[in-house]
Amino acid sequence: MKRFSKIRWIAALLVVVGAVVFLSFKSGDSRSFQIAKNLDIFNSIVKELDMFYVDTIDPNKTIRDGIDAMLYSLDPYTTYYPEEDQSELEMMLKNSYGGIGSIIRYDPKLKRTVIAEPYEHMPAAEVGLKAGDILLDIDGKDLEGNKDVSTLLKGQTGTSFKLRVKRPGVDKPLVFNIVRRSIQLPFIPYYTVLDNNIGYINLSTFSGNPSKEFKQAFLDLKKQGITSLVIDLRNNGGGSLEESIEIANFFLPRGKTLVTTKGKIAQSSNSYKTLREPLDLEIPLAVLVNSGTASASEILAGSLQDLDRAVIIGNRTFGKGLVQTPRPLPYGATMKITTSKYYIPSGRCVQAIDYKHRNEDGSVGRIPDSLTTVFHTAAGREVRDGGGVTPDIEVKQDKLPNILYYLVNDNLIFDYATQYCLKHPTIPSPEKFEVTDADYADFKAMVKKADFKYDQQTEKILKNLKEMAEFEGYLTDASEEFKILEKKLTHNLDRDLNHFSKEIKNMIADEIIKRYYYQRGSIIQQLKDDDGLKEAVKVLNDLPKYKEMLSVPVVPAVKKESAKPV
């Protein structure tokens, strides 16, 4: 009897303890309880859908959509990679992949994929594929209507396949045997010596190991006698934080703290210093940036600005001050998760968008300038957080004309370049090449023959204004004025092709040069009339001005008037 009572007492005690544990779990550790509760609900929802939904669901797609939506609600950089997408993650982290080395695009009119731009020294270019080649089949598999040809072209390095293409201007299809290789996109697609011994290095990415190539390029330029340097980071979307610090270290003393990361847990909070002896502490530097300069690029540009080591020129950078870390998941999956924010030497964070505080509709916007904080460079110059790196010299960004957008979108410039290359086996060097008036006349004739139509924003706005005026009862009194405006804003293709000939010619030249001289040639073409580079050259040719820009402006003392008797 006593034993039975004891068992009852223990059972009662366990019930009480269980209740206490449950209540403490529910109240004292409410976050853990909420997570457990919602995971249970999510699990039940999937099971209920699988059992009762009117159509059979694809569990992989349904759950993947849910995961993607959940992660995107946090920020665009926290992403999930299932086992089958690991190659994509690997490519992003290392800037390399197994494939043929070419940009491709799907042409909806042809319902086929077209080679858009082969990379120099890569399998596609080496076997003779050219921009404009239309992909017909891979190992006999017809590619018509296939919008995911990229996955067929990529694969294990060393594997081979037969690619059959239709080349414009050639009667019979061409067949190429291609062996996939590890495709390493160029870190330094172009570097050179400009006038007055100014060096120029175009750095395209921080993924992989670009610091090694950058060092080689810089030392080569030093041998050629450069006395100042332009580093072009425009449209460089970033990559490795460590690589940006390594390159900054070439121009900054050892032991400087360049980046501090701060996250929720201790492992996410670190300080990164320059660890090596620099290559050159004295050479004047100008860094070109734009709205496509992001992440690790902003670390390099921002650190050189904060330590008054370089003049930053161009447009405000993208504003990505968030750090991602890959985390392993079950079944071979990985999640790239935002674990911290980074802060550059002045103490500022360049993050431009506050994803934590969203608008009521879920949208996000840039942090307004009024809410940013003033920080100071090592010399005492004012800089701000909250919106990327603001350049020391602002360069107005030219807006492309509306007609050019439609010419590119309709592939008319691309197709003209393809036809041009059929007639011209060779062209002059990128520095000397230009689209002649005769070439442009041929292009205009092709555009007209194609019955090209494009959207004119002024006509759209005028139509909307006219409809609103009619709705509000003003149209009758203003009908003559509207007629005059309509006459002046009439769609005129000849006029627009002539008015915007400079911009269109430049785009045509860029597309043609790429066919012969690849990415390097394209950069040379773009630098011919580059306002940012002009500003960089201007400031590097004026050393007193350069030094003044990196110093605190001297504020003249206010002269006190002597007191006068009244």
Superfamily of domain 96-184: PDZ domain (2.30.42.10)
pLDDT above 60 (res 54):
yes
Looking at residue 2, what is its pLDDT? 47
Looking at residue 96, what is its pLDDT? 65
Looking at residue 558, what is its pLDDT? 53
Phi, psi of 272 (to 5 degrees): -120, 120
Letter for the amino acid at 188? I
pLDDT above 50 (res 154):
yes
Domain topology for 190-324+338-357+387-394: 2-enoyl-CoA Hydratase; Chain A, domain 1 (3.90.226)
Which of 306, 308, 385, 510 does the annotation list as catalytic? 306
Q: What does R_g of the chain's alpha carbons equal in angstroms? A: 30
Q: What is the mean pLDDT of residues 299-327?
A: 96
Looking at residue 278, what is its pLDDT? 97
- 397-449 residue pLDDT tens: 888 888 999 999 999 999 999 999 999 999 999 999 999 999 999 999 999 99
Burial class (CB in 10 A: 0-12, 13-18, 19+), 435: buried
- 159-171 residue pLDDT tens: 999 999 999 999 9
Q: What is the mean pLDDT of residues 329-337?
A: 93
Who has greater pLDDT, 433 or 183? 433
The percent of residues above 90 in pLDDT, for the chain, comes to 71
Looking at residue 450, what is its pLDDT? 92
- 212-246 residue pLDDT tens: 999 999 999 999 999 999 999 999 999 999 999 99
Residues in contact with 161: Cβ distance below 8 Å, sequence separation at least 6, in sequence order: 138, 139, 177, 178, 180
HSE at residue 163, side-chain half, CA atoms within 13 A, is: 28
pLDDT above 90 (res 9):
no
Query: Under DSSP, is residue 251 helix (H, G, I), strand (E, B) or coil?
Result: coil
Do 255 and 271 meet the contact criterion of CB atoms below 8 Å apart?
A: no
pLDDT above 90 (res 545):
yes
Which of 256, 320, 444, 514 does the annotation list as catalytic? 320
The overall average pLDDT reported for the chain is 89
Looking at residue 88, what is its pLDDT? 74
- 277-291 residue pLDDT tens: 999 999 999 999 999
432 counts as catalytic: no
pLDDT above 70 (res 565):
no
Query: Under DSSP, is residue 265 helix (H, G, I), strand (E, B) or coil?
Result: coil
Looking at residue 436, what is its pLDDT? 97
CA separation for the pair 539, 198 (Å, rounded): 11
- 69-111 residue pLDDT tens: 999 999 999 999 998 887 777 776 666 678 999 999 999 999 9
Looking at residue 456, what is its pLDDT? 62
| Structure tokens, 153 | 């072209």
CATH 2.30.42.10 segments of the chain:
96-184
306 counts as catalytic: yes
CA separation for the pair 64, 72 (Å, rounded): 12
Across-strand partners of 79? 336
Residues in contact with 497: Cβ distance below 8 Å, sequence separation at least 6, in sequence order: 403, 444, 447, 504
Q: What is the mean pLDDT of residues 510-520?
A: 97
Looking at residue 3, what is its pLDDT? 44
Looking at residue 468, what is its pLDDT? 82
CA separation for the pair 191, 118 (Å, rounded): 20
Who has greater pLDDT, 317 or 25? 317
CA separation for the pair 205, 231 (Å, rounded): 12
Looking at residue 212, what is its pLDDT? 97
Looking at residue 84, what is its pLDDT? 82
DSSP label of 110:
T
Letter for the amino acid at 446? M
pLDDT above 90 (res 270):
yes
Looking at residue 267, what is its pLDDT? 87
Which of 295, 303, 346, 522 does the annotation list as catalytic? 295
Residues in contact with 428: Cβ distance below 8 Å, sequence separation at least 6, in sequence order: none
Length of the chain as a residue count? 566
> CA distances (Å), 21 to each of 10, 24, 29, 197, in order?
16, 5, 10, 75
CATH 3.90.226.10 segments of the chain:
190-324+338-357+387-394
437 counts as catalytic: no
pLDDT above 90 (res 564):
no
**Torsion region of 158: left, alpha or beta (phi above 0 gives left; psi -120 to 50 gives alpha):** left
> CA distances (Å), 374 to each of 346, 386, 387, in order?
10, 10, 12
pTM: 0.84
